[in-house]
Amino acid sequence: MYEEVPSLLQIGNKYKLSDWGLHLVAAHDLDFDPQLVVQRVLKIVAQSKQRKVVISWEHLLGDSAFNSDGLVRIASRLKQCFPNAKVIFYIREQLSLIKSLYAQYVQEGGTWKLEDFLSLDYPYRVGFNLVYLDYFKVASLYCELFGHSNVYIQTYERLKQAPENETERLFQWMQIASDRPFSAISTEHKNVSLSRQTLGFLRLLNYIIPSRFNSLGPKRFTRQPRSRFYIRKYLQEYIDPYIIRRIFTSSNIHIDSETQRGIHTQFAKSNMLMQSHFNLPLAQQGYPLHEENIND
């Protein structure tokens, strides 16, 4: 979305594995230098004509595939680097987001099944910690650091349902006048997730293809190998939509009923607090607000 607005400079995927990006999220606490991050970002800004900057990278909330153990530390580092920043969150219904995050984990080389991925505890580094989706705890952390008035929170579902209205609302909060009509800003759905059948096939392939979860070979893993890029590209663009999804009538990732009930119970209170404190329409958008009966 931001790439379509000439007045904004988006610092996103192009820079996330740069020296300052890695330093921000991965430097040891004893070695972290806020000025290194600030100076590198200011250098990027100086090379452009834009005055407003959006830093967008999901890893700023910690690495979801590694238990998001850096979430609080990175929030503190962002405050050190950019104390006057405004923070934007789009949250997503928890069950839906878990499926999306698991699909991303497999597409990046993961080999665990979903039920194992959700239940791995210390000393496993790989795994998913559900506190990552306790939105009220995360929102409260950022409101405490940056101030409630400097934190914008809305749902992914609202953005998807009414992109023009929500984009206009966001830009008004940011105090930015769009250079283009909001209807002209791209809302194309990119990086569509694979079906569960294709994910299952890819998960088996991941045992022999190097990745950050399976660093095979004599060289240390730093970036996705080209073989992984092409396999994912052809699965995503050709095999999955034109073959797999036409053979199988049900292709969505499945979460068993017991796990669903546990997730509903775990997040009901947090979602109620989010709805009341941030005036979000969670009830209308299917978020767990109380323990529900789940059927397979």
pLDDT confidence of residue 218: 56
- Which ranges of the chain have pLDDT less than 50? 293-296
Structure confidence at residue 293 (pLDDT): 46
pLDDT at 14: 65
Element (H, E) at 197: helix 196-205
Q: What is the pLDDT of residue 122?
A: 83
* Residue of 227, 177, 173, 172 lying closest to 205 (CA atoms): 227
Which pLDDT score is estimated for 296? 46
- The string of pLDDT tens digits covering residues 52-65 is 888 988 889 999 99
Q: Cα separation of 209 and 135, whole Å?
A: 34
pLDDT at 274: 97
276-289 pLDDT, tens per residue?
A: 999 999 999 999 99
Residue 158, pLDDT score: 95
| pLDDT for the residue 183 | 56
Q: Strand locations in the chain, DSSP E?
A: 8-11, 52-55, 87-91, 151-155
What is residue 125's predicted lDDT score, i.e. its pLDDT? Answer: 87
Q: C-alpha angle with apex 101: 212 to 207, nearest 5 degrees? A: 35
**Burial class of residue 274 (count of CB atoms within 10 Å of its CB; 0-12, 13-18, 19+):** buried
Q: HSE (CB half, 13 Å, CA atoms) of 6? A: 5
Q: Cβ–Cβ contacts within 10 Å for residue 93, how many?
A: 18
DSSP strands (E only) in 33-165: 52-55, 87-91, 151-155
**Residues whose CB is less than 8 angstroms from the CB of residue 226 and which lie 6 or more positions away in sequence, other chains included:** none
Cβ neighbours for 254, distance < 8 A, ≥ 6 positions apart? 196
